[in-house]
A and B are shown apart, each in its own frame.
Chain A
Amino acid sequence: MHELRRDLGKTLSRRALLQGTGAGIGAAALAHLFGDKERGPHHTPHARNVIYLHMIGAPSHLDLFDYKPELQKREGRKCPDEFFVGKQLAFIRTHPRLLGSPKTAPFRFRRCGESGMEISNLLPHLQTCVDDIALLRTIRSDEFNHGPAQMFLQTGFGRFGRPSLGAWSSYGLGSPNQDLPAFVAMVTGTYPGAGNSAFGSGFLPSVHQGVEFRSKGDPVLFLSDPKGIDRGTRRRMVDSVKQLNGLHFDDVGDPEIATRVDQYELAYRMQASVPELMDISQESAEVHALYGTQPGRTSFANNCLLARRLVERGVRFVQLFDQGWDHHGSVFSQLPGKCRQVDRPIAALLTDLKRLGLLDDTLVVWASEFGRTPMAQTNNGEGLDTKAGRDHHTEAYSVWLAGGGVKGGTVVGATDELGYAAAEDPLHVHDLNATILHLLGLDHERLTFRYQGRDFRLTDVHGKVVRAALA
């Protein structure tokens, strides 16, 4: 970046500055707005963009992706001692009983697609997409409380202060789009417990932090002009600021001023491009039917469609957070409703990306901070089976990948017969993150940032690329 600034300092004149909007100097300066041009992939990327679906609260993977007939068979029996004795569990305090998925039709698992991947009837739309999915069934986390585990999943570290995966991607690859941020986050429901840290930039320059696009109020903070400032007035104000900044640049010669001028141009363009982007009403009725979207509503479905629109426009990393999966109680009455909210839109997203030819370039990740126990958590001691839930579970849980560079129809890893721990091919959050970076063309061991005398990595000193999931 210093090189670039120096060049600017040498060559800029006011005339060049003022003519530079969107081209020439403008474009050069823009290169380091949302990420640096000089960094780039370490190897040929398999995917250019990522859409990361983070189910906040941790869905019950055992009832969705990891069918355990033995668990159903032993339903109601005390769990083996080694599941409980000496373990740290978030909520369960007395020796729990095993809890299988209900045997009723809505909860049954079905072998789907050509691959025959087994997933639950709770996700009927996703069942049609299994041949695009690589399912990792043995991911393990080091943290068992939500906030720390969300940070661990996204930043590779259970405490505050580290950059998130999206920030690392922006830092490593920059942004292909000059009009939009490299990293966009959207939230349905309340924010994750980790707060902005779940999409923060940690010690990386804050230009890499995820910019939240919102469905209520301004889609990007402070995007709308005050009442009474029309588009023409704003244009003239920006021109005037540019004029005066140009004069000052002539005087002091600081290239940051040139960059600032371009930021105002970009801001002005974003005032038009972002509302256009966020306005899904122009999409066809067929698309709305596919996703189950309704313009003007706040919903996960709308965010899925927006994610597609963002990726179409070259946004590097889109992260959707969806709150409401923390089913400590009544898991079997709560889960179907949550699944209905996300199943159709996620399948629609995969279908839509595929038919637009974008799925080859786009990696879709479905994950959560951890999974849920095969043991029942009984709600406040009332003891009615219908109210049982599942506690936080870090030993092994399911995550899936689809799209660019992913080998569809694959299942990696297997848990034991009760779904407690990995029985084959144990995987770890660091392995997942190494794989995601790999698909983006980044070597997780070489993507580093020097801070406090140490070269930090997303994967700390761990992580192996999950080759079995790669095409």
Chain B
Amino acid sequence: MSTRPATHRFVRAIACLVLATAATAQSSGHGSDQKHWAYRKPTRPSTPHVNAAHWPQNPIDAFVLEKLEANGMAPSARAERARLLRRVHLDLTGLPPSIEDVDAFLRDDSEGAWQKVADGLLASPRFGEHWARQWLDLARYADSNGFQADQLRDSWAYRDWVIDALNADMPFDRFTIEQIAGDLLPDATLAQRIATGFHRNVTCNVEAGVDPEANRVNQVFDRVNTTATVWLGTTMECAQCHDHKYDPFSQSDYFRLFAFLNNTPIEVKNGQGVRFDFYGPKLELPLASAEREQLAALHTELAEVEARQKSELTNVAEEQLRWEHKMLALLAAENPWHALDVAAFASTGDENHTVLPDKSVLIGGRLPGTATYTVETIAPFEGITAFRIETLTHPSLPGTGPGRGDDKRPNFILSEFTVHAHDGNGQEATRVDLHSAQADYSQRGWHVKNAIDGKQNKGWAIGGGFFKDHYATFQTRTTIGNKSDTRLTFTIDQNYGRGRTIGRFRLSAYTGDPALLALPKQIARILQQEKRGAKAEDRLREYFRNNHPAAVRLTRQVADLKQRVQAIQPATALVMVEEQQPRATHVMQRGDYLQPGARVTAGTPTTLHAFREDWPKNRLGLARWIASPDNPLIARVTANRWWSHIFGRGLVTTEEDFGLRSEAPSHARLLDWLAVEFVESGWSMKHVLRLIVTSATYQQSARRQGAETVDDDNTLLARGPRFRMSAEMIRDNALSIAGLLSLKTSGEPVFPPQPAGLWRQTGRNEPKYVVATNEDRFRRGIYVVWRRAAPYPSFVLFDGPDRSSCHPSRSRTNTPMQALTLMNDDAYVEAALGLALRVVRQSGMSTAARIEHAFRLALARRPTTVEREHLRTVFHRERQRLAADAKRAAMLVDSVKGIRVANHIDRVDAATWFLIATILLNLDETISK
């Protein structure tokens, strides 16, 4: 399998070469003057002069208006205030405004009202939760490994780091450096190390039989490619196998970048055999304060119990002395075991049998699958308190036994052991009640207690203890036997099948003190020793304590407390660390790590800005190079991404690619202006977003200007943005409208409702999806568990990626499955009922007022007369129908899973509002911004 498809890879190189000729011909060489625009450092363009000079609110508008005027177009009017407020709330926080927010804004006609709204939203902790989503798509953040089994991992600390960094408006250069190489910063803080989780988000294959080195190399490929896409808007992947044919990156450029990222430890470890485990550097997170308090309380309790244990043990020591005397006396008495004479033997298996002089029975001849031996014995003893069966080896048995059937595994399974006693007067035999089964050895899962549990499917077996004698003892509930002629019938069931029966056995009765029975031979020996060594004394003391109820209880308590202390383990985060010894990096011929070519050292592509002498040639140096203001790509790529997030379309539409084959920017000078402004503001994301949302361009109405519009895609920005929200926003928005949304932040991922049966991957340690029944059910989408093989279904249906690889932008589809989701997914059914109850609880409102209230909760604006009338008609019509079928109304309200509706609430009322809420939550306007 190492003979790789060399020919195929070679063909790839040739074919790319052919394809490339056209592209290179188009692009005008790579000379410094004619360098592709994106590889030249942006400079601040002057703000253009425009005719409608009153319109621009800031330079963004001047650039936009210039283009519009050049195309003979004019901008749209400002959007209505309620719609505008909803737009900016959704854009900056991902959540809709409350009715109070809307009213306050409608009342505020001061000049700075809009600025104030923007500033307030930028300062909200909801900001980071919303904007982190876009970054986490790029960072291919997920809570699982990917591949077979797709086990969960602890990576959420990184997600929280991103949210916090965005909320704090961490300068983007620092944001970049900490994620690529936070661990290598001098005196790296905990947060800086957590930030390096960015590159631990790669998928990891722990499928049985994986090659850890292949997995590692694939992970580094992913890191190189993701780094280039995220910060350079460049597709490096092409250069993995051969020189990039469109963009000026050679294969050795690729592996020089690869060398920077090639020095972290392997992340798959070989467990037993061909089992492999997820592995690699982890960081312990500090405990939360509640956990710290809990831990302190446990330590106090532990100290108390240990003190109590100490004093109790002094008493126990005294008891031990008395016990030793008693046991010694018992041991001195004559042997209480009596081997029983066999009067008759029968078996269902039709074997031969011989009774040997030592009173044991040897079985031979036919080997049946199963057998029941019935043995009649004479037991002229009084005071029988236990029986014993010895299973013995014999040269005639396969592999010497003690079982029959297989000379490699001479096992037996004693399914049931029963004894019947006859008192000699010809009366019915009575079954002897047995308990406290003990054996010198039991196979795992086949404990001797199974031999008296009344069930034939489990039994006593000795796998792992072949070729040796064994015994089992069983105590009787009552003392049995009389001196003259007690007859005992033993039934020995062996029903496992495949000839797993006993080859030789001997039965005995016991007439001693049961206390002695339980005494292990080794302890008996120690007791009888004249002089005991320290080791023997320890052993004896340990034995006594382990069988002393009070001592055992205390020991258990201590162990339990220690376990609880142990259980409060700090959570962990996946981080990057650098190996002491850097790996040698070679160009991989045709991208195959088994075919190393020339050795390369770490370095950056010469087409781009220079790598400074004083930067270290490691990940930290790479990070500083990427985050350098000289980098022509980073600010453009990043600002473009934010622009796209807000306007639905980037200034460069190929968001993931700024190379020679990228689309030309629609507003090249605006892009450069934004990029320069971004860097000069101290890399402030919030500064750039504030500029965007306070621009007149942003505040335009989204209404299309007549049917003749020539700019369908809104490339020229003659109207405001309007498009469907992302998957997470749609859910957050619905929960918020419903008044159900929990604003709890951070921590482990949550499990909101999803249909059963979606998590069934192949492989070890498959995690279970346990739907949350507390507030976690209603937390924001950013906290929902992201399992790569099966991400949250409604997210997938609304174009969420599986996050297995870097995902620069999501598609925006419009499908029937989305309609079904909004109508029937538990999450949305619960939201509809939540909204219904919110309306029902408004006391003293007319139906019309309630309709208006619900409408404003969903859409911020007030309904038009037609809309209001329509909903009123629907309300009355549905109410009438439901009133006529109260049972259906109750069923509708009471079968919603996540919400219990109080008894005093009228079911017909709630059900009618549920239908109105369903309509509102399904509107295109509700899921669009």
Contact = CB atoms under 8 A, between A and B. Distances in A.
A56 B760 CA distance: 14
A159 B805 contact: yes
Contacts of B211: 88
Interface string A414-431: 000000000000001010
A91 B237 CA distance: 31
Interface string B2-19: 111100100110111001
Given A218-B755, A452-B235, A207 B815 contact: yes
Interface residues of A, number: 100
Given A221-B755, A224-B824, A211 B813 contact: no
Interface in B379-405: none
A222 B207 contact: no
Contact of A453 (B4, B208, B659): B659
Nearest to A191: B761
A93 B661 CA distance: 47
Interface in B818-833: 818-821, 823-825, 829
A193 B209 contact: no
B656 A452 contact: yes
Given A236-B874, A256-B724, 5 more contacts: A159-B218, A240-B870, A261-B924, A266-B819, A453-B657
Given A86-B2, A160-B146, A190 B761 contact: yes
Interface string A171-185: 000000000000000
A453 B654 contact: yes
A93 B209 CA distance: 10
A453 B1 contact: no
A248 B925 contact: yes
B915 interface: yes
A366 B454 CA distance: 51
Interface residues of B, number: 112
Contact of B821 (A2, A222, A229): A222
Interface stretch (A63-71, A98-106, A140-148, A335-343): A140-148
B587 interface: no
B866 A247 contact: yes
Contact of A193 (B148, B724, B755, B815): B148
Contact of B816 (A33, A236, A244): A33
A286 to B, nearest CB: 32
B149 interface: yes
26 contacts: A10-B708, A89-B209, A145-B207, A145-B209, A146-B207, A146-B762, A193-B150, A193-B761, A195-B789, A217-B755, A217-B756, A217-B757, A222-B794, A236-B878, A244-B870, A251-B703, A252-B703, A254-B928, A256-B924, A263-B818, A428-B8, A452-B654, A454-B238, A460-B8, A461-B12, A462-B11
Contact of B247 (A191, A254, A453, A462): A453
Interface in A249-275: 251-254, 256-257, 259-261, 263-264, 266-268, 270-271
B205 interface: yes
A471 interface: no
Contacts of B896: 226
A143 to B, nearest CB: 9
A300 to B, nearest CB: 16
Nearest to B214: A88
B274 A9 contact: no
B33 interface: no
Contact of A226 (B147, B208, B709, B895): B895
A9 B709 CA distance: 8
Contact of A148 (B205, B222, B888): B205
Given A224-B824, A237-B915, A270-B816, A455 B802 contact: no
B712 interface: yes
A93 B791 CA distance: 36
Contact of A222 (B702, B810, B824): B824
Interface of A: 2, 5-6, 9-11, 33-34, 56-57, 86-91, 93, 140, 142, 144-148, 159-161, 190-197, 200, 205-207, 209, 211, 214, 216-218, 220-230, 233-234, 236-237, 240-241, 243-245, 247-248, 251-254, 256-257, 259-261, 263-264, 266-268, 270-271, 323, 380, 391-392, 394-395, 428, 430, 450-455, 460-462
Contact of B207 (A193, A241, A453): A193
A86 B892 CA distance: 65
Of the candidates B16, B709, B804, B867, the one having the most CB atoms from chain A within 10 angstroms of its own CB is B804
Contacts of A395: 1, 3
Contacts of A11: 707
A30 B864 CA distance: 30
Given A221-B820, A225-B823, A263-B816, A453 B235 contact: yes
Given A89-B1, A193-B207, A253-B707, A454 B924 contact: no
A206 B864 CA distance: 35
B543 interface: no
Contact of B895 (A193, A222, A228): A228
A233 B12 contact: no
A267 B924 contact: no
B811 interface: yes
Contacts of A142: 4-5, 8
A323 to B, nearest CB: 6
Given A190-B762, A253-B703, A9 B19 contact: no
Contacts of A227: 891-892, 895
Of the candidates A2, A160, A220, A452, the one having the most CB atoms from chain B within 10 angstroms of its own CB is A452
Contacts of A226: 824, 829, 892, 895-896
Nearest to A421: B3
B373 interface: no
A278 to B, nearest CB: 15
Contacts of B147: 145, 147-148, 193-195
